[in-house]
Structure 1
Amino acid sequence: MISFAPLSVPLERRLQTLATVQWVFSFLSLGIICIVIFVGLFFTRFWFLSMLYSAWWYLDRDTPRKGGRQIQAMKRWRVWKYLADYFPVSLIKTVDLDPTQNYIAGFHPHGVLATGAFTNFCTEGTGFSSVFPGIRSHLMMLTLWFRIPFFRDYIMSGGLRNLGNQGRIPGLSEIVASHSTPQWPLTKAPGEGALVASLLPIFSFGENELFDQMDNPSGSWLRWIQEKLQKVMGISLPVFHGRGIFQYSFGLLPYRRQITTIVGKPIKVKQNTNPTADEVDRLHQQYMKELCNLFEAHKIKYNVPPEQHLEFR
């Protein structure tokens, strides 16, 4: 039985849905369209446009890993406020952050499309600059997306940056485990890397309730395929569905579910460009402890039963 949307939906809600359609389209289809346009122009009389862009692309090749290219007008685009109100998304701080300091934030759980992370930290949809005055946010993204012509410039305008040479990140395996389940599995990070900034734990309640994902328990054929593709392509491919534009039964739009992103207190880190594995592991253990404390302190307010806890894999 298909559940259709009523005809009397208020204009505000229709605009929210339209903004969400634009966002989902951008991250699921726009990259492919950009590739087709870039290649296709070579076979037309406008071939020189692709040649000019190729030259620009080469000269600009290091920008994604050197800070990107934020455009404040793009981040303040009205459509992002409609996107945030669609769910709605809320950004809550537990302490003030010193704008003279640097922070590396860990966002959990990743979810299928990292909705809370994008809305809160790549746009002004939830008023990030008002909540954390003086702080400039960047969201890290896999190198693959910055190899797509035109699309790379679009995502950099929102503050997205290249993850760099790290081929794997913990969030990848979280994507294919983003089910609406009692526990939120979080992948442990490797014990390596430089200590350069304070760590900032973030937990986003409601992130895994936006889509229904096909069951893929560890050891299943689907999880095996997803893990193999992740190793080969560097990205995870979840099999998911949500609602449609004019009906609520199936489609690729996320459900209207409240997302509340809680930013915890920073963990002070003594800068060390060449730490030992034990030093990194101790810091990682401290980070997991603070993340658990953050979750436990707020879970009751967001309808998480008291007997449910975070799982680390």
Structure 2
Amino acid sequence: MTKEKSKWKEFLEAASVLQWVLTFLFLGVACYILFVYLMFTWLWPLPTLYFIWMVMDWQTPERGGRRSSFMRKWTVWKHHRDFFPIKLVKTAELNPNKNYILGCHPHGIMSAGAFACFTTESCGFSEVFPGVRASLAILAGLFRIPFFREYIMFAGLCPVSKPSLVHLLSKSGEGNAVVIVIGGAAESLASSPGVNTLVVKHRKGFVRLALEFGADLVPVYSFGENELFRQLIFSEGSLSRRLQDLFKKIMGFAPCLFVGEHLAIMPYRIPVTTVVGSPIPVPKRVTPTEAEVDHYHGLYIEALSKLFHEHKVSCGLSESHKLRII
């Protein structure tokens, strides 16, 4: 029998999720505004010195960053987890003597499952997979934002750029699990309740990277991710959709028009279950051929589809739910 939450606990959960949503939507812009504002006040030496420091520290995000285990264990993340709630499910062991590329699906609007499971310890990743360090890869441009870059580096986030991923897979020892939300911005535009559309059919860069460094591929599916927000989806070819695609092409992320349960931006209290599949053994090929890339890409899609269908019913979907891969 589920224990009823107190009003105080519900408040803490809502406050934790609200700060996460506001951080996701506005903190980067706020940091830019603060930086420029301080330049025109008597405090101008502070942003000036910080800018000099940032230039000197420019390559740090692509060299492993500055992960803080303290920040990853903040109590606020446990309240964030309990709001939905979010759960991490293991289906197979991950050998700490190997490196991995975890392909996470679907993107959803804010990738709540990926954030909670791989950027915080609220779901117990280090206990579930001892000896393995998860690093969620996000837009490289976010690490150029003053102040904000420090916050996301402390959380253990890394740029989804070739130098960054190469460093994690070749110069940071073993036991690294690079988490990439494969569908990215394109997949976020397809996020809607009841829809299970993944953009992965023509995305093969992560497979080529896995072959170059002999990192095993691991499919991950966050059931419930697409149920957290309602999105206004424009039809392909419409002016609004073309404008969204243009913005995505220029900025790297998509301007989704979505609404939540409260205050328009609060997600619905829908359980999210992030299931980590079995690793697919990948040989090391310094210069993989297209045939090899296609072969392991096919194995990955097959394993991802199998993972979805094996766990969809236990994770809240009906047997009739289909997976659409584009």
TM-score for the superposition, normalised by structure 2: 0.88
Distance 1:242 1:210 in 2: 7
Alignment check: 8 A CA contact 1:173 1:187 kept: no
Q: C-alpha deviations, 1:239-272, integer Å up to 9, x for none?
A: 001022xxxxx51011110000000000011011
Shift of 1:56: 1.1
- Residue 208 (structure 1) aligns with: 226
Q: Indicate which of 74, 77, 80 corresponds to 2:77.
A: 80
- Residue 240 (structure 1) aligns with: 258
1:141 partnered with 2:122: no
Counterpart amino acid of 2:275? I
Matches within 5 A, 1:73-222: 73-164=70-161, 170-192=183-205, 193-194=208-209, 195=211, 196=213, 197-222=215-240
Which stretch of structure 1 is more off in the superposition, 211-220 or 23-32?
211-220
Q: Indicate which of 252, 255, 272 corresponds to 1:259.
A: 272
Q: Secondary structure at the match of 2:133?
A: coil
Q: C-alpha deviations, 1:192-243, integer Å up to 9, x for none?
A: 5331210010011000000000122322332221111111111111100102
Alignment check: 8 A CA contact 1:170 1:189 kept: no
Alignment check: 8 A CA contact 2:227 2:270 kept: yes
Change (3 A) 1:236 1:182: closer
Matches within 5 A, 1:287-302: 287-302=300-315
Change (3 A) 1:124 1:27: same
**Superposition RMSD in Å:** 1.7
Alignment check: 8 A CA contact 1:64 1:156 kept: yes
Change (3 A) 1:182 1:161: closer
- Residue 303 (structure 1) aligns with: 316
Shift of 1:165: 5.1
Counterpart amino acid of 1:223? R
Distance 2:6 2:127 in 1: 31
Q: Secondary structure at the match of 1:301?
A: coil
Distance 1:123 1:204 in 2: 16
Alignment check: 8 A CA contact 2:106 2:222 kept: yes
Matches within 5 A, 1:264-283: 264-283=277-296
Q: C-alpha deviations, 1:264-306, integer Å up to 9, x for none?
A: 0000110112101111111101000000010111111123222
Change (3 A) 1:111 1:182: closer
Counterpart amino acid of 2:277? G
Alignment check: 8 A CA contact 1:122 1:160 kept: yes
Shift of 1:184: 2.5
Distance 1:269 1:214 in 2: 39
Q: C-alpha deviations, 1:136-155, integer Å up to 9, x for none?
A: 11000111211110001101
Alignment check: 8 A CA contact 1:189 1:284 kept: no
Q: Alignment length, in residue pairs?
A: 300
Alignment check: 8 A CA contact 2:107 2:183 kept: no
- Residue 170 (structure 2) aligns with: none
Alignment check: 8 A CA contact 1:229 1:236 kept: yes
Shift of 1:182: 4.1
- Residue 5 (structure 1) aligns with: none
Distance 1:271 1:162 in 2: 23
Q: Indicate which of 223, 227, 247 corresponds to 1:229.
A: 247
Counterpart amino acid of 1:263? V
Distance 1:191 1:86 in 2: 35
- Residue 4 (structure 1) aligns with: none
Q: C-alpha deviations, 1:157-216, integer Å up to 9, x for none?
A: 1111011159x9632200111011343233324345331210010011000000000122
Provide structure 2 residue ranges, at least 5 long, that are not aligned to the other structure.
164-180
Distance 1:225 1:43 in 2: 35
Distance 2:82 2:308 in 1: 24
Distance 1:216 1:181 in 2: 17
- Residue 312 (structure 1) aligns with: 325
TM-score for the superposition, normalised by structure 1: 0.92
Counterpart amino acid of 1:116? G
Counterpart amino acid of 1:207? E
